[in-house]
Amino acid sequence: MSPGKPIKCIAAVAYEAGKPLTVEEITVDAPKEHEVRIKVEYTAVCHTDAYTLSGMDPEGAFPSILGHEGAGIVESVGDKVTNVKPGDHVIALYTAECKECKFCTSNKTNLCSSVRATQGKGVMPDGTSRFHNAKGEKLLHFMGCSTFSQYTVVADVSVVAVTPEAPLEKICLLGCGVTTGYGAAVKTADVQKGDTVAVFGAGTVGLSVVQGAKARGCSKIIVVDINNQKKQWAQDFGATDFVNPKTDLKEGQSIVDKLVEITDGGCDFTFDCTGNTSVMRDALEACHKGWGQSIIIGVAAAGQEISTRPFQLVTGRVWKGSAFGGIKGRSDMDGLISDYRDGKLKVDEFVTHERPFTDINAAFEDLHHGDCLRTVLDLSK
Ligand SMILES: NC(=O)C1=CN([C@@H]2O[C@H](COP(=O)(O)OP(=O)(O)OC[C@H]3O[C@@H](n4cnc5c(N)ncnc54)[C@H](OP(=O)(O)O)[C@@H]3O)[C@@H](O)[C@H]2O)C=CC1
Ligand SMILES: N[C@@H](CCC(=O)N[C@@H](CSC=O)C(=O)NCC(=O)O)C(=O)O
Ligand SMILES: [Zn+2]
Ligand SMILES: [Zn+2]
């Protein structure tokens, strides 16, 4: 432990959009008041890290330390930190929970406002960064987490302690993908037994929606993906049907027609887990007239907009969105970990690749291959 002292360690720095990350030594300053320094043990790479690195994120800023699906051990804490202590096993939270703001005290949302403005600018709540490189240049934070570093500093509201019994190399996925999809099904949509559901995009997020829908006893869980390699996974996670719009439609039939046909008029719930705005439109229009709800989870590139005929909404379809599955990270994580440990929530199954941290650029390549759900990086290597 080096409380109060800067730590030199290895991080993967995003210097420029569209360029590989640079693995190099950086300095991580000590945590200030209401801040926590974490020794990151494991992190996965989420599609959103790749999206920001690509330059498509309006909030993307460089140079920065990306990564937001990580777990580790608290190394030291600044003054006034009461929720975690050195030695605690923790998950970093890109959706903070201060438990005090207008959002946190409402049961309508998980979108805590306490640190969101500074988080979006890549700095800590006091407006400064805790990272610099060997040249002394400031490096920005990302999504309040920056888990692509052996040590990171986060706001105390952006971290939750978890039982040390849970394997960090697996539960790092609860920092984003699994929680996001599962929460979108059971919390944002609150799907019920017997509902019909279509999930567009069979990545970690989409397959986690599937497991939420299965847990609730939905009658049809239709996965839509353009890659037939995803079919087996879809079935393993609980899908009842798989449709590939490129190969499984009749002449002149659209994916909307197909879903309306197999659900007798449209789905009760649909989920976009692709980030593609034309898929978002299909997902809305595949909803049942009068009550169908479509949940947007995917993150679209800067400048993209969604559209549909207003008539789709006039006739009772509902378009909504979900961030981090509507989960309040500090209040709800314990329950998710218990479900995982009781065998009710699949997490291990999403770890298709494991690599040493220094191979992080290969992990970004993995994302583009149909055989990868999540690559988990070991920061000790
Ligand atoms: N709102 C939130 O809180 C969060 C949002 N996200 C966002 O959710 C999305 C999904 O994330 P993740 O699961 O990690 O990503 P993945 O890339 O692993 O999954 C997306 C899946 O969608 C498939 N796909 C692409 N285009 C289409 C299409 N036209 N129709 C059907 N399927 C398609 C992809 O296939 P292929 O592999 O062949 O391209 C892939 O299987 C991303 O946009 C991510 O940024 C992620 C976490 C949190
Ligand atoms: N920064 C982007 C939007 C990116 C985005 O929508 N992020 C999701 C989480 S994606 C995780 O992998 C999210 O939770 N958004 C809500 C939030 O408060 O950030 C942009 O500016 O468009
Ligand atoms: Zn993510
Ligand atoms: Zn709050």
335 C-beta neighbours (distance < 10 Å), count: 11
Site to probe by mutation for ligand 1, drawn from 51, 225, 246 as the one with most ligand atoms within 8 Å of Cβ, is: 225
Q: What's the pLDDT score for residue 3?
A: 65
**Quick one: three-class SS letters along 324-376?**
HHHCCHHHHHHHHHHHHHCCCCCCHHHEEEEEEHHHHHHHHHHCCCCCCCEEE
Q: What's the pLDDT score for residue 265?
A: 98
Q: What's the pLDDT score for residue 231?
A: 96
Residue 329 and residue 170: Cα distance in Å, rounded?
17
Query: Which residue, judged by its Cα, is nearest atom 7 of ligand 1?
Result: 298
Helix (H) or strand (E) holding 186: none
Residue 37's DSSP bridge partners are 76, 153
Using an 8 Å Cβ cutoff, are 48 and 68 in contact?
Answer: yes
**Which atom of ligand 2 is closest in space to residue 49's alpha carbon?**
12
Using an 8 Å Cβ cutoff, are 224 and 255 in contact?
Answer: yes
Q: Confirm whether the ipTM is greater than 0.95.
A: yes
What domains appear along the chain, each with residue ranges and CATH number?
7-175+346-378 (3.90.180.10), 179-324 (3.40.50.720)
Per-residue pLDDT of the chain (381 residues; tens, 9 = 90+): 566 899 999 999 999 999 999 999 999 999 999 999 999 999 999 999 999 999 999 999 999 999 999 999 999 999 999 999 999 999 999 999 999 999 999 999 999 999 999 999 999 999 999 999 999 999 999 999 999 999 999 999 999 999 999 999 999 999 999 999 999 999 999 999 999 999 999 999 999 999 999 999 999 999 999 999 999 999 999 999 999 999 999 999 999 999 999 999 999 999 999 999 999 999 999 999 999 999 999 999 999 999 999 999 999 999 999 999 999 999 999 999 999 999 999 999 999 999 999 999 999 999 988 899 999 999 998
Question: Which is the catalytic residue, given 22, 101, 358, 372?
Answer: 101
Length of the chain: 381
Q: Which ligand is nearest to the CA of 275?
A: 1
Task: Give me the DSSP letters along 222-276.
Answer: EEE-S-GGGHHHHHHHT-SEEE-TTTSPPTT--HHHHHHHHTTS-BSEEEE-S--
* 224 in contact with ligand 1, CB cutoff 6 A: yes
Q: What's the pLDDT score for residue 364?
A: 97
Is 188 tagged catalytic? no
Q: What's the pLDDT score for residue 81?
A: 98
Residue 221 and residue 237: Cα distance in Å, rounded?
10
Counting DSSP H helices and E strands in the chain, the numbers are 11, 17
| Phi, psi (rounded to 5 degrees) for 161 | -80, 145
